[in-house]
Amino acid sequence: MPTAAHAHIGRSVLRVEDEALLTGRGAFVDDIGVKPGTLHAAIVRSPLAHADILSIDVSAALKSPGVRAVLVGSDVKAWATPFAVGVRQPMEHWCMAIDRVRYVGEPVAVVIAESRYLAEDALDLVQVEYRRHDAVVDPEQALSDRAPVLHEAVGSNLVNDRHFSYGEPDTAFAAAERVISVKIRYPRNSCTPIECFAVVAEFLSTDGGYDVLSNFQGPFALHPVMARALKVPGTRLRMRSPRDSGGSFGTKQAVSTYVVLLCLAARKAGAPVKWIEDRLEHLQASVSATNRVTTLEAAVRNDGEIVALRYDQIDDCGAYLRAPEPATFYRMHGMLTGAYKVKHVAARNRVVLTNKTPSGLVRGFGGPQMYFALERLVQRIAVELDLDPLEVIRRNLIDADAFPYRTPAGALYDSGNYQGALRQAELEGGVSELYTRRDQARREGRLYGIGYAAIVEPSISNMGYITTAMTPEERAKAGPKNGATTSATINIDGLGSVSVMIDSVPQGQGHRTVVSQVVADVLGLEPEDITVNVEHDTQKDSWSIAAGNYSSRFAGAVAGTVHLAARQIREKLAKIAAGMLGVDADDVVFSGRKIYAHSRPEDKLAFHRVAGAPHWAPGTLPQGVSPGLRETVFWTPPQLTAPDERDVVNSSAVYGFVFDVCGLEVDPVTGKIHIDRYVSLHDAGTILNPALADGQSRGGFAQGVGAALLEEFSYGEDGSFLAGTFADYLVPTCCEVPDLRILHMQTPSPFTPLGSKGIGEGNNMSTPVCIANAVADALGVADVTLPLTPSRVHALLGTSDPPPQAHINVANDQPVANAKRGGLALNMSGSVDLLAKPQQVYDVLLDPKALASVVPGCHSLVQVAENHYRAEVTMGVGLVRARYVAEIRLSDLTPPNALTLDGSGLSALGSVEGKGRVRLEPFEAGTRLHYDYGVSINGKVAAVGSRMLEGAARIVLRQFFEHLGRKAIGEDVSLSCRPSLWRRLMDWLGGRK
């Protein structure tokens, strides 16, 4: 039948999602009503990175007001099993720690109460006794024979080690004119969606199943993993997704752990249970990208041609290999050569466990890590061979006439013109102007650099690529896995209204908008005529294990499958209309909300009239046409086959191309990096909605800028998480993200129904290394480590940061004197003048009752031995407050002139230990007290970061010394404690009664 030109595809129509979001009518998990009697959960998390759980006492928590139940490890063992693991190792990953904790923030109990507030109040009442083990946070150290082992049944922290060879890399390296190498340490970072994890779970006692509403994004290959962990068939785990989700960027695949945990909490409580993750929980314990150590070598000719590559990669997946890991490694495995026509490749991939949060599918997963090594290497080749980096890139790019192009490791690049893309970027991006700016800046003594990155962006993941982590023999035994099945359903009701159901579970990208454009084009309607339902339900909707929102599968797979379903329903409508019009179905045209014959355009039928026939008059349908108008289509790319016996794998269905150029200047005084111009050219095949495509590129770019300049999950040597607030985990705002000049080239894919490819992840792969290459060019350095904070820039320049404040020195990366290493270290020294005499001050320090009255937040202090006390003290930093059980000891007493004070404390939110020397020096007005103290803090309190803790330490010291001086001269310390503003306001209001 005749087809009209696209009326809507390729246009930047307004998003249909935005009106509800901008007027406060979004439908997020927390907005959706719950059943009467629904309870709320708060999670007790480990304050230690590595420890045995000796006992858990929940009796006090169960007596707390409103608390209905507490879920503990014994419940989990009775009702669940460990999650399936992606490699063959005897490790156990439960939804909650059973007998050992392996990272700070790991769940150890769940308090279930009538409100979240009451549940939070009861957290401190759950008493957990731990036996601490040494922790390991560096992946290279984790491989040492002396490293603490996380999973004793495995016997090592190395859980997967595979060697690969494609072509003849050994021969190529032996004959190489030059061998050039880099060693890269890519840091941990993550995403910060505006909406964190959310789960509402109910145990259905009638059939032993579970009903779950969550913002889980997929892949739905994790649905059977969750069902198996809950020991139920897949049909008895109903997973529902709301219409709206406040972003994800890959993180919400990790909701799967909490789905199982909250299902068990609901079973324990005998009622539905709701849990909304808070920001500190999300940063500390949800998910992060893997940090990776890569040694990459290239065998090159003197003209810059790359003959062979040799990778040695270590991926740090955290405390557990949580499904679908090691996906971060193997998503990119087929494309280890990137955009280059390298024929010989060798790789060693090692998956290592450390005492950190388990990793997952953060935006672009695998791409940022791999391309940072590969594109840094290309820049180093140019420098060491004294060549133009752009010419080295150009010389090695795959030729335009080579597509479809098969890489040595198996990726089948569908389409592209990489050389043409470079020419377009040079011309339209003003590269020659950047050269002029750099030359001018350098003549003036300024630090200006230009960086490039050429990357291939995969989309629509092969569900079998992860099995490349297995040996061919293991795969043969398990059976082949491959494909990427997508489903879409289109229904037309009796009034001609069109509705579409898709399996993509969008997280804010605008899928409803694009789907309405696609269907409107096929059926000759307007986008506003199409209703798109994205509320996914595993018990009612069509889906497969590949369903979900990940690997940029929407444009190529989901929108393409919608197009196929729309064509099928159009063919049925054409047969019905042909009977009404008395023409052949091939002559029927759909346009302008009308259906007519191409040969008789004046004789038009309203769309709703034709669509109503199968509902209102099925007896009039042509022979062979069934009643109803509903079509469901399943589609999978045939190019996605299982890995073969040589470990050759086409890890994705289609491959876009991104070429970035960055010009920047470095301020040698402040260490600040100013991005002068950033150009990004994308070839994502057919662009369905240019505005949304550009929005995805800008989002990926902003995240890439954060990874390059700001973001890093930092840990202490003892596994303490040190980036638990936005004061220490810095994310870019609109002020830090420069303007992005976006260019497009379109080479439609022959492998997808609409010729489209993904575009949402490319800049998060290309931007970090492009900026790093520009900084390396500006500073003339070889080794660049992210993020490029001012302190790191100063280190590259050979200068140092300004000296710290004299009163309190905060150091994250140095040991605390006389205190255990690890955690967040505060080194405090100084002096304060007190009005009392030295002996009076000394007497207070040795009097338990007096000492209790001067320690801020002290609830009780009892003497357990000479100069040895046990105390309960509340410590608060920002919104984080914890009640510590502390041991305090006095030693090296030199009355009344000096003593040593040391102590340790443990709470549900972390541990603290320290040691210091106090000297009392008489002077005319009283006593000058000198202190030199070191303290190590870890757990949730440490996660608030050095900035907030520095301020809190100042306040606590000031209060302590003020109270100490007053107590020493006989004043009532309680009178010096001014009531809070809130208490004074309440007292004033009460006085008015």
Average pLDDT over residues 136-153: 97
Sign of the dihedral through C-alpha 773, 777, 782, 786:
negative
**Domain for residue 75, yes or no?**
yes
Amino acid at 360: G
Output the CA torsion 572→573→576→577 (10° steps): -140
Which pLDDT does position 63 carry in this prediction?
A: 97
Please report, rounded to a whole number, the percentage of residues in the chain having pLDDT higher than 70. 92
The number of residues in the chain equals 993
Query: Looking at the predicted structure, is the pLDDT value of residue 1 above 60?
Result: no
Do 677 and 619 fall into the same domain? no
Where does the pLDDT of residue 724 fall: very low under 50, low under 70, confident under 90, or very high at 90 and above? confident
Please report, rounded to a whole number, the percentage of residues in the chain having pLDDT higher than 90. 76
Q: What are the CA-CA distances from residue 314 to residues 142, 147, 362 (Å)?
A: 11, 16, 18
Burial of 59 (0-12, 13-18, 19+ CB in 10 A): exposed
Do 757 and 617 fall into the same domain? no
479 Ramachandran zone, left/alpha/beta (phi>0; psi -120 to 50): left
Where does the pLDDT of residue 816 fall: very low under 50, low under 70, confident under 90, or very high at 90 and above? very low
DSSP classification of residue 939: S
Question: What stretch of H or E contains 67?
Answer: strand 67-71
336 vs 331: CA distance, rounded Å:
10
Query: In this predicted model, what pLDDT tens digit does every residue of 265-322 receive, in sequence order?
Result: 999 999 999 999 999 999 999 999 999 999 999 999 999 999 999 999 999 999 999 9
Structure tokens at 768: 């970090």
498 vs 321: CA distance, rounded Å:
43
> Among candidates 283, 286, 284, which has minimal Cα distance to 215?
286
Considering only residues 780 and 969, tell me which one the structure prediction assigns the higher pLDDT: 780
Which pLDDT does position 943 carry in this prediction?
A: 63
Query: Looking at the predicted structure, is the pLDDT value of residue 814 above 70?
Result: no
Query: Looking at the predicted structure, is the pLDDT value of residue 805 above 60?
Result: no
The residue from 635, 665, 683 where one domain ends is 635
Do 333 and 241 fall into the same domain? no
Which pLDDT does position 772 carry in this prediction?
A: 98
**Domain for residue 164, yes or no?**
yes
Which pLDDT does position 769 carry in this prediction?
A: 98
**Domain for residue 822, yes or no?**
yes
718 vs 48: CA distance, rounded Å:
8
Burial of 51 (0-12, 13-18, 19+ CB in 10 A): buried
Q: Report the relative pairing of strands 291-300 and 107-113 from DSSP bridges.
A: unpaired
Where does the pLDDT of residue 944 fall: very low under 50, low under 70, confident under 90, or very high at 90 and above? low
711 vs 328: CA distance, rounded Å:
19
Considering only residues 419 and 871, tell me which one the structure prediction assigns the higher pLDDT: 419
Query: In this predicted model, what pLDDT tens digit does every residue of 658-714 receive, in sequence order?
Result: 999 999 999 999 999 999 999 999 999 999 999 999 999 999 999 999 999 999 999
Where does the pLDDT of residue 2 fall: very low under 50, low under 70, confident under 90, or very high at 90 and above? low
932 vs 197: CA distance, rounded Å:
43
526 vs 215: CA distance, rounded Å:
30
Show Cβ contacts of residue 313 under 8 Å, excluding neighbours closer than 6 positions.
292, 293, 294, 329, 347, 348, 349, 350
Per the CB < 8 A criterion, the answer to whether 283 and 49 are in contact is no
Which pLDDT does position 803 carry in this prediction?
A: 46
Do 645 and 630 fall into the same domain? no
Where does the pLDDT of residue 887 fall: very low under 50, low under 70, confident under 90, or very high at 90 and above? confident
Considering only residues 232 and 859, tell me which one the structure prediction assigns the higher pLDDT: 232
Do 272 and 346 fall into the same domain? no
DSSP classification of residue 729: S
**Domain for residue 4, yes or no?**
no
SS3 of 903, please?
strand
Do 349 and 459 fall into the same domain? yes
DSSP structure string for 206-230? TTTEEEEEE-----TTHHHHHHHHT
Q: Based on the structure, what is the number of domains in the chain?
A: 4
Q: What are the CA-CA distances from residue 772 to residues 237, 434, 886 (Å)?
A: 46, 17, 46
Cross-strand pairs, 811: 825
Highest mean pLDDT among 546-550, 816-820, 987-991: 546-550
Query: Looking at the predicted structure, is the pLDDT value of residue 968 above 70?
Result: yes
Q: In what order do the strands lie in the sheet with 588-591?
A: 588-591, 594-597, 600-606
The residue from 282, 300, 331 where one domain ends is 282
pTM: 0.88
Which pLDDT does position 819 carry in this prediction?
A: 43
Task: Give the CA angle between residues 718, 723, 724 to the nearest 5°.
Answer: 105
Considering only residues 124 and 812, tell me which one the structure prediction assigns the higher pLDDT: 124
Q: Which residue has the tokens 């880099």?
A: 182
Show Cβ contacts of residue 666 under 8 Å, excluding neighbours closer than 6 positions.
447, 448, 449, 672, 673, 674, 775, 778, 779, 793, 797
* CATH number assigned to the domain comprising residue 462: 3.30.365.10
Do 831 and 756 fall into the same domain? no
Per the CB < 8 A criterion, the answer to whether 540 and 240 are in contact is no
Cross-strand pairs, 912: 905, 937
Which pLDDT does position 942 carry in this prediction?
A: 65
Structure tokens at 505: 């579970």
**Domain for residue 28, yes or no?**
no
**Domain for residue 989, yes or no?**
no
* CATH number assigned to the domain comprising residue 953: 3.30.530.20
Query: In this predicted model, what pLDDT tens digit does every residue of 890-929 receive, in sequence order?
Result: 899 999 899 898 888 777 666 778 888 889 999 888 999 8
Q: Report the relative pairing of strands 530-533 and 498-502 from DSSP bridges.
A: parallel
User: How much of the chain is helix, strand and coil, in % rounded to 5?
Assistant: 30, 30, 40
E-strand stretches of 566-645: 588-591, 594-597, 600-606, 630-635
**Burial letters for 581-594: b for 16+ Cβ neighbours within 10 Å, e otherwise?**
bebebebbbbbebb
The residue from 228, 251, 282 where one domain ends is 282
Structure tokens at 713: 């999950």
Show Cβ contacts of residue 938 under 8 Å, excluding neighbours closer than 6 positions.
47, 48, 49, 104, 716, 718, 719, 720, 822, 823, 824, 910, 911, 912
Do 122 and 270 fall into the same domain? yes
286 vs 357: CA distance, rounded Å:
7
| Structural domain that includes position 594 | 485-635
Do 631 and 646 fall into the same domain? no
Do 687 and 832 fall into the same domain? no
Which pLDDT does position 152 carry in this prediction?
A: 95
Query: Looking at the predicted structure, is the pLDDT value of residue 22 above 60?
Result: yes
**Domain for residue 751, yes or no?**
yes
Which pLDDT does position 695 carry in this prediction?
A: 95
Per the CB < 8 A criterion, the answer to whether 26 and 244 are in contact is yes
Structure tokens at 74: 């014994």
Burial of 733 (0-12, 13-18, 19+ CB in 10 A): exposed
Q: Which phi and psi angles does 578 have, rounded to 5°? A: -60, -40
Do 887 and 867 fall into the same domain? yes
- The answer, yes or no, to whether the previous bond of 979 is cis (omega within 30 of 0) is no
SS3 of 753, please?
coil
DSSP classification of residue 757: -
484 vs 461: CA distance, rounded Å:
7
318 vs 18: CA distance, rounded Å:
37
Query: Looking at the predicted structure, is the pLDDT value of residue 576 above 90?
Result: yes
Q: Which phi and psi angles does 821 have, rounded to 5°? A: -75, 150
Amino acid at 309: L
In angstroms, the first-to-last Cα distance of the chain is 83
Which pLDDT does position 290 carry in this prediction?
A: 95
Do 823 and 771 fall into the same domain? no
**Domain for residue 817, yes or no?**
yes
Where does the pLDDT of residue 652 fall: very low under 50, low under 70, confident under 90, or very high at 90 and above? very high
> Among candidates 319, 345, 318, which has minimal Cα distance to 332?
345
